[in-house]
Structure 1
Amino acid sequence: MENPYLCPVCGTNRMRFNLIEQKARPVKKDPRTGEIMEEVDRADPLHIPYRGEDVRVQCGVCGVVDTEERFIKTAQHESHARKG
């Protein structure tokens, strides 16, 4: 999170962002009612653990949501383009 961001869609925002922290909650649900029946132990061999990003970023100007890496790479690419 200590890297500059640039919105990959609007291409102008470098300052206003929402950091969206994702925390997976493994559960078992009743297939008929949708009620959560229990929390699943992360060591359960029949349950695949969440492998997505811990943080997603939303542009505070245009509202696009994407990976933090995309915002960082866009800023790096734009910085290299200005130098070259």
Structure 2
Amino acid sequence: MALKITDSCISCDVCVFECPNQAISLGEEIYVIDPERCTECVGHHETPQCVAVCPVDCIVPDPERREERELLYQKYLRLTKTRR
């Protein structure tokens, strides 16, 4: 599933630079994750890098966006194909 950033975000922007899919951007008050670009780092890393670096643990799975690993990998392929 895609990830989301909760209201406990302190807008430190550390996660932005770790996202290989450029899925994280500044929202109205806190950072947000574009679910169309979030692959939970499948295809790039073993674990979601934004989660690994978040100092307040505010990045969690989005229950509204359930996606199996294979679907995340297909999204990764689609996203990286457009960059080549």
Global fold match (TM > 0.5) = no
Highest Rg: 1 or 2?
1
TM-score, scaled relative to structure 2: 0.30
Report which of the two has the higher share of helix. 2
TM-score, scaled relative to structure 1: 0.30
